[in-house]
Amino acid sequence: MARWRIGHVVLPLALLAVLAGCDALPTDDGDDGGSAATEQAGDAGDGAEAPGPGRGDTKRAMTETQGAGTEDADAADRSAGMAMTSDEMAAREASENAPPGPANMLTDDEIARASDLAVASTVVQDVVATAVDRSAVQAGTSDTDLDAASAEDRVAALAERPSYRVLYTQRLNEKGATARAAEVGIYRYDTGEAVYAKVDLASGDVSALEAPLGAGLPLVREEIDEAAMVARQDAAVIEKLEAAGFDAATATANGLITRAEDGPCAEHRCVRLFFGTVKAPLPTFAVVVDLVTLQVVEVADMPAAEVAGTAHSDADAPVDASSAGAADDASDNAADNGYAAPEDATTADSTADPMEGNQP
């Protein structure tokens, strides 16, 4: 009886313990579910301040996609802009590079083209047809047997052949001009003929021009180099160069066009050379070279030249024929280039810095 009573009491207690234990011991799945529910509830409570999982990544993905779309569109626009034919591209480049108007200076390409058109024209060929181009001979590109020779031999050979040179190509300044045009000046040495041509740079047409009023053909660097090469091989010049302390093989010079009342330079184009350096700029002697026969015509001391690189004393020095000739050359060159020489020009003009000579 007592045991039944004890069992009657213990059994319900045990059952209650079992039932309570079932509620108190959650499963793994229940834990996960509860945590997820709690997190979701927390997220919902936070509202917009805490976006749900994946929203930030989605926004970034959308932004990147839109950016990529914009870049693709830009690339497509660029591709469309580059879809030009070669002729269209050439026309566009020509338009972009073209000078704005007829008053602008010529470009290097225009100078080369105008020179070629002028030389090939009937206007110029009537004068130079049987002659060789001196500049091409100097450069070794004349397509003649002279190209294989040394520079010195090429220059020496020119004395025996009819020859010409394009002395300048410049913008033609015409009043009221609406198109770009070039003026080309060409000289033939053996006959002393000068020919001037107008080249229309748009059409390529070439027509004859009258000699520019009051201006002669300028002395160009190629002529000075040619004359200096001739002078450096002359025995009298070599002696003068060595006495002045110059290397006879490499001495550089500047020069002026010179004329004479008689002798070779009365009829031929001649240049008076002055040798000097940066350290000794004042020349002690002058050399006259005939550009037609390519021979040295005269070697003369400068007036009152004390030492190369020192000042000259013109007041104490007698004036001789060579100094007077140099002064006349300076005056003639000034006139040729559109400048009026002063009336009281003296022999001091001939001692100007040789590194600042007449340049084209």
- pTM over 0.85? The answer is no
Q: In which band, very low, low, confident or very high, does the pLDDT at 43 lie, cut at 50, 70 and 90? A: very low
Of the candidates 113, 100, 271, which has an alpha carbon nearest to the alpha carbon of residue 184?
113
Distance between CA atoms of 181 and 172, rounded to whole angstroms? 5
pLDDT of residue 14: 62
Of the candidates 268, 267, 275, which has an alpha carbon nearest to the alpha carbon of residue 291?
268
Say which amino acid occupies 50: A
Beta bridge partners of 295: 290
Indicate the CATH number for domain 221-356: 3.10.450.40
Q: Judge whether 334 and 327 are in contact, CB under 8 Å.
A: no
Token pair for 340: 């009026």
Helix, strand or coil for residue 299?
strand
pLDDT of residue 277: 86
Sequence spans of domains, the chain: 108-209, 221-356
Q: In which band, very low, low, confident or very high, does the pLDDT at 38 lie, cut at 50, 70 and 90? A: very low
More confident residue, 303 or 8: 303
Give the model confidence (pLDDT) of 117-150 as tens digits.
999 999 999 999 999 999 999 888 988 888 888 8
Q: In which band, very low, low, confident or very high, does the pLDDT at 67 lie, cut at 50, 70 and 90? A: low
10-35 burial, b at 16+ Cβ within 10 Å, e below that, comes to: eeeeeeeeeeeeeeeeeeeeeeeeee
DSSP sequence for 198-242: EEETTT--EEEEPPPTT--PPP-HHHHHHHHHHHTTSHHHHHHHH
Helices assigned H by DSSP within the chain: 2-24, 28-46, 55-82, 86-97, 108-120, 122-128, 134-139, 151-158, 221-231, 235-243, 321-336
Q: In which band, very low, low, confident or very high, does the pLDDT at 188 lie, cut at 50, 70 and 90? A: very high
State the average pLDDT over residues 196-222. Answer: 89
User: CA dist 321 to 254, 276, 305, 318, 325, Å?
Assistant: 21, 22, 15, 10, 6
State the average pLDDT over residues 73-85. Answer: 54
